[in-house]
Every structure is written in C-alpha cells, then in structure tokens.
C-alpha cells in the first residue's frame, strides 16, 4: 500500500468511514478452481437495480475504493453497466477476473470506463498445470491473451499467483511471465477455507520448508526485517489487527455484509437494511472494531505481534476472531525462524 493510501486508510479508520468495499457481483464462474472457497450456484444474486441502489448508498457513506469480483464478474451481462454507474459515482474501481471472456470489445470498455486495475489469477506458466487447477482446457492461453491485449491497450494489469502444492515450483515462471508481458505480479501462499467453514481446502497448502523458501525470496518478500516487541509496548497493544470492519468490508452477491471476504461473520444484509446503518450499527462489526492487539489472549504475548500479517478472518474460521491464525504464524516463522507464541503454546501442550 502506498504512503498516500496508508494515510487515507488511517484517516478513514479514525473517522469511521468505509473507505474500501469488495463487492462480488456473482459467485457463478466459468472455471472450477480446485482451491476456490465459494459456491457457484446462483441463489438469487442482486439485480442491477439493487446493485445500483447499493452503489449510491456506498458513495454517500464515503466509499472510494471499490473492488468488483466474483465468481467471474463478466458472466453478468450488466457488468459494464455496473462499472459505468460506479465510475459516475467517482469510485476508484478495481476488477478481478479470470480474463477468459475478455476480448477486444471488453478490453475497450474497461479502458473507456477508467477501471484503475485489472487482476487476473495465473496459477502456473505451464498450461497443463494451470488448466488442471481451473478445470478448463485452454484457460491459461485465453487468460494470457486477455492480459497481453489489455496491457497493449495501456491498462494496468496484475497477475495474481496463489501458491499451492500443485504449483509450488511455478511462481518464478509466472513472475517472469508477468515481467515479460508488462504486468505487475503478486503472490499469495495461503489457501483460504471455504466460506461455509469447510477447512478441507487447507490440504492444498504447501509445507513449512517450501513456505520458508518463498517467504525469504527477496523478489517476493523484500528486505523487511523482524522487529521484536518489548512487553507492554502501548502503541502496539493499542493497534488494530487489520482494516477489516474498520475501513473496509465485503458484500456478497446476495447482499450479505461481512468484515472481509476472508472473514465470513454475517453482519447484516443490504436487502434488509441501508448500507450505512449496517456499517455504523451492526453488533458484529462493533465487536470486530472493539478488538485491539492487547485483547488477543495468545498473540498479545507474541514477539511477532507488531509485524505479523495475522488475519482475524482466518482466525475466526479457525475458531475465534481473537485467536491466532495458524497460517500467519507459519508465515512469520518461515520468514524469521522464530516460533510464534501460538506455536510455542502448542508445543508445550504436546509435550505436557
């Protein structure tokens, strides 16, 4: 996040403004990725009129950053009407798509409407691996064709790479591919449990040794240094775990509001309440906002607490939003070689 966005986010948190919203316009998809955490049946997604009304409410509430995603958002025939209305309301729009439905016409509309960035997931530079994950033959080449064309039209494109067991050794190839095409590159070594709570997808996570190699790859992780926290550091103890529910939230295709797409705590529904009323008065969001680092029974005693990427949503799906997120403990350990408080606690229990 740039310094400008960091400052904007801090100000939004202070003022209680929902600066950023991730809106899935559909969960339908033309791919069936093996690690996907969403259902793909249409259970009555919001109509264009409902989404248009929601966009108007969000603009009035102060939302500025809008991510439109899915599922595959281009499966909605009214997607570009949604984007057009979002831009009329001056949202900064980011689009997440698999890209296989983007041709010249769609790319021209994305550029015409002033979409800030387009993110496309590429799991491997090898067609046989990528296509096996999406379960769509030819999907890699179709996605790459879309990316190349969008870049040629001056659009900002980010290639997102989710690392899993099947793609463990492929991220350097995808990173090189992004550089050759002229796209940005981002990587995520964490598999998300299914939104219904099913954790079986976590079997796809890479092992600790592979995670250590990735977390110490300076082309990925940079030069960040571990900073140990002195016991009782007030600034750290008073900090919030992340922006979810503080300056950002997620809205499903059915109008359900959650703190984040990775934090499936039902907090209201825009078909039943105004967006601003959910944002301001939802008991669930109020609970999320009440939590500070000092309120985390295990993490508050951890030397990683100042720099950990702890996701309260992953912690929530693990059992408690105030608890540790094992995936983030593993990332901190992989980066530093220093066990987290949670890891030490588990080891002590195992040896008791």
User: Tens of pLDDT along 244-272?
Assistant: 999 999 999 999 999 999 999 999 999 99
The confidence score (pLDDT) of residue 226 equals 46
- The mean of the pLDDT values for the chain is 93
- In 3-state terms, what secondary structure has residue 88? helix
C-alpha–C-alpha distance, residues 302 and 304, integer Å: 5
> What is the pLDDT averaged over residues 13-19?
95
The confidence score (pLDDT) of residue 197 equals 86
> What is the pLDDT averaged over residues 92-114?
96
Taking alpha carbons only, the member of 281, 293, 350, 349 closest to residue 321 is 293
Q: Identify the band that residue 147 occupies on the pLDDT scale cut at 50, 70 and 90.
A: very high
Q: Identify the band that residue 78 occupies on the pLDDT scale cut at 50, 70 and 90.
A: very high
The confidence score (pLDDT) of residue 306 equals 82
Radius of gyration of the chain measured on its C-alpha atoms: 20
**Is 60 exceeded by the pLDDT of residue 225?**
no
- Rounded to a whole number, what is the distance in angstroms from the first to the last CA of the chain? 43
pLDDT over 90 percentage in the chain: 79
193 compared with 228, residue with greater pLDDT: 193
pLDDT tens by residue, 128-146? 999 999 999 999 999 999 9
Strands of the chain, DSSP E: 20-24, 65-69, 92-97, 117-121, 157-162, 184-188, 248-251, 257-258
* Full strand arrangement of the beta sheet holding 257-258: 184-188, 157-162, 117-121, 92-97, 65-69, 20-24, 248-251, 257-258
- In 3-state terms, what secondary structure has residue 92? strand
Write out the two tokens for 250. 């997620």
248-251 and 257-258 strand pairing: antiparallel
The confidence score (pLDDT) of residue 230 equals 53
pLDDT tens by residue, 310-329? 899 999 999 999 999 999 99
Q: Which residue has the tokens 């403990």?
A: 329
pLDDT tens by residue, 171-216? 999 999 999 999 999 999 989 999 888 999 999 999 999 999 998 8
Taking alpha carbons only, the member of 65, 71, 88 closest to residue 33 is 71
C-alpha–C-alpha distance, residues 264 and 252, integer Å: 10
Q: What is the pTM of this model?
A: 0.93
**Is 70 exceeded by the pLDDT of residue 227?**
no
């Amino acid at each position: 996040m740039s310094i400008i966005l960091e400052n904007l986010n801090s100000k939004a948190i202070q003022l209680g403004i929902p600066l950023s919203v991730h809106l899935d316009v559909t969960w339908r998809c033309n791919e069936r990725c093996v690690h996907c955490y969403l259902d793909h049946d249409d259970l009555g997604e919001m109509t264009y009129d409902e989404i248009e009304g929601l966009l108007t409410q969000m603009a009035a509430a102060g939302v500025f950053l809008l991510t439109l995603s899915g599922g595959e958002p281009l499966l909605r025939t009214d997607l570009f009407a949604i984007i057009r209305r979002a831009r009329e309301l001056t949202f900064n729009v980011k689009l997440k798509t698999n890209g296989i439905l983007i041709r010249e016409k769609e790319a021209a509309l994305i550029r015409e409407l002033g979409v800030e960035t387009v993110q496309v997931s590429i799991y491997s530079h090898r067609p046989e691996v990528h296509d096996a994950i999406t379960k769509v033959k030819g999907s890699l080449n179709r996605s790459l064709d879309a990316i190349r064309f969008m870049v040629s039209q001056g659009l900002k494109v980010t290639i997102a790479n989710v690392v899993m067991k099947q793609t463990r050794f492929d991220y350097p190839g995808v990173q090189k591919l992004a550089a050759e095409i002229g796209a940005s590159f981002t990587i995520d070594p964490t598999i998300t449990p299914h939104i219904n709570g099913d954790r079986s997808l976590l079997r796809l996570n890479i092992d600790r040794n592979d995670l250590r190699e990735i977390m110490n790859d300076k082309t990925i992780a940079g030069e960040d240094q571990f900073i140990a926290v002195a016991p009782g550091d007030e600034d750290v103890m008073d900090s919030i775990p992340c922006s979810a529910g503080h300056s950002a939230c997620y809205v499903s295709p059915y109008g359900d509001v959650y703190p984040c797409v990775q934090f499936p705590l039902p907090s209201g529904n825009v078909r039943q309440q105004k967006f601003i009323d959910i944002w301001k008065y939802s008991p669930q969001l109020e609970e999320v906002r009440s939590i500070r680092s000092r309120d985390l029974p295990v993490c508050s005693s951890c030397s990683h607490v100042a720099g950990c990427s702890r996701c309260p949503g992953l912690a929530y799906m693990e059992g408690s939003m105030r608890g540790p997120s094992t995936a983030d403990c593993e990332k901190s350990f992989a980066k530093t070689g220093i066990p987290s408080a949670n890891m030490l606690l588990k080891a002590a229990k195992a040896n008791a």
